Amino acid sequence: MATLKDIAEKVGVSISTVSRVLNNDDSKIVNALTKEKILATAQELGYRNNRWTRRSGRDHDKKTSVSKRAGCIISLPQENYSYPYFSLVLKGIENGLAERGYGLAFIHTLDELRDPSVKQQIIEESQIDGAIIIEGIDPHIYEQLKKNIPTIVGIDVNDPTIPTVSYDRIGASQAAVRHLIAQGHRKIGFIGGLGLSGDITREKRFRGYRYALLEAGIELEDNWVLNAGWQIETSFELMNRLVQEKRNDLPSAFFVASDVMAISAMRAAAEMGMRIPEDIAFFGVDNIEVSQYTSPPLSTIHVPKYEIGQMAAYLLADYLESKLTFPIKALLPYELKLRASSLTKPAR
């Protein structure tokens, strides 16, 4: 079954743009040519969305009303949400909702949510039964959503009053750093970004990193904590600068809070003549598909991305159908994928 992601990739636009076109959402302007390409591609791929089918007129003489519709809000900037991690989560959500008979009314990003017209459309005009929110958003906007959307399920959302799906980010990160320590590393850096709090020390993957160091009696070196803001380019630039300026005082390993940032940091280190893992080892998070094909292959934490999205969709359906009435917290398992980027003992 074709998904929004399939259409987006073929047309070369974002998933939220496809969602807006197929759901006749005019909160953001999409040019006529792009609309035409999206509609044609959806038909070519056999995309099935009852609301769009009714609007496009293919089944004009049939009753195609949709009684069950859900929305999705991904609380990341527009340029980040199409990263491989989130693409698979979104695919799991879309397929999971379809399996339970729900249509996906919209996908909006954090940047779009800051537009008053988009927020109004979500709160007052979307007429959805429920929504899935991926990661934390501004508290004021979040409270508005909770007041106006009947049922909300969170993915990595810190709210005990709603059902949530996640994996143990702290425990997984701690396990990854324990592996680096077991390989003989005592000088271990961190690359990541800020969470909703704006404080990197409160971000869960950083906390797991710190706990592993404390457990091993290793002092945390602030100069080796790099805030890349979750940006691939920034991770590359920070690693490049660190190697240039501190070549004689570098960590022998880095734990990196996402594979995409780890891959760019590895590239920067390699371009500066560093051998991986002999001079500097790397361990990432997410196990995106390309991580096994880097040179050397990247050690990483496997996160069940598709299953997280699918479970969130199932939970939303269960709550809407009154099969569940209390806010459960579902933690899905993670797995360490140990590869060549972290498996050699440090040279120094």
What are the tens digits of pLDDT across the range 256-306?
999 999 999 999 999 999 999 999 999 999 999 999 999 999 999 999 999
pLDDT at position 17 is 80
Residue position matching structure tokens 């990541």: 192
Three-state helix/strand/coil letters over the chain? CCCHHHHHHHHCCCHHHHHHHHCCCCCCCCCHHHHHHHHHHHHHHCCCCHHHHHHHCCCCCCCCCCCCEEEEEECCCCCCCCCHHHHHHHHHHHHHHHHCCCEEEEEEEHHHHCCHHHHHHHHHHCCCCEEEEECCCCHHHHHHHHHHCCEEEEECCCCCCCCEEEECHHHHHHHHHHHHHHCCCCCEEEEECCCCCCCHHHCHHHHHHHHHHHHCCCCCCHHHEEECCCCHHHHHHHHHHHHHHCCCCCCCEEEECCHHHHHHHHHHHHHCCCCCCCCCEEEEEECCHHHHHCCCCCEEEECCHHHHHHHHHHHHHHHHCCCCCCCCEEEECCEEECCCCCCCCCCC
Amino acid at 93: I
Higher pLDDT, 71 or 198: 71
Cβ neighbors of 164 (< 8 A, separation 6 or more) are 153, 154, 155, 156, 157, 327, 329, 330
For residue 51, pLDDT over 70 is answered with no
pLDDT at position 241 is 96
For residue 56, pLDDT over 60 is answered with no
Closest among 75, 227, 193, 207 to 139, alpha carbons compared: 75
pLDDT at position 264 is 97
Assigned architecture for domain 169-303: 3-Layer(aba) Sandwich (3.40)
For residue 14, pLDDT over 90 is answered with no
For residue 60, pLDDT over 80 is answered with no
pLDDT band at 18 (very low <50, low <70, confident <90, very high): confident
Asked if residue 298 lies in contact with residue 263, where contact means CB atoms within 8 angstroms, the answer is yes
For residue 70, pLDDT over 50 is answered with yes
List pLDDT tens digits, range 134-184.
Answer: 988 888 888 888 888 889 999 999 999 999 999 999 999 999 999 999 999
For 290, phi and psi rounded to 5 degrees?
-70, -15
Higher pLDDT, 1 or 65: 1
pLDDT band at 62 (very low <50, low <70, confident <90, very high): very low
pLDDT at position 59 is 40
| Highest averaged pLDDT of the listed ranges 124-128, 207-211, 221-225 | 207-211
pLDDT at position 192 is 95
Give the chain's end-to-end CA distance (angstroms, integer). 52
What's the mean pLDDT in 190-203?
86
Intervals of CATH 3.40.50.2300 along the chain: 169-303
pLDDT at position 58 is 39
- Tell me the pLDDT of the chain averaged across its residues: 86
Percentage of the chain with pLDDT > 70? 86
pLDDT band at 42 (very low <50, low <70, confident <90, very high): confident
Higher pLDDT, 33 or 24: 33
Higher pLDDT, 18 or 79: 18
pLDDT at position 82 is 54
On whether the 4-162 domain is CATH 2.40.160, my answer is no
Percentage of the chain with pLDDT > 90? 57
Higher pLDDT, 119 or 270: 270
CA distance 74 to 287: 20
pLDDT band at 66 (very low <50, low <70, confident <90, very high): very low
pLDDT at position 106 is 85
What's the mean pLDDT in 15-22?
76
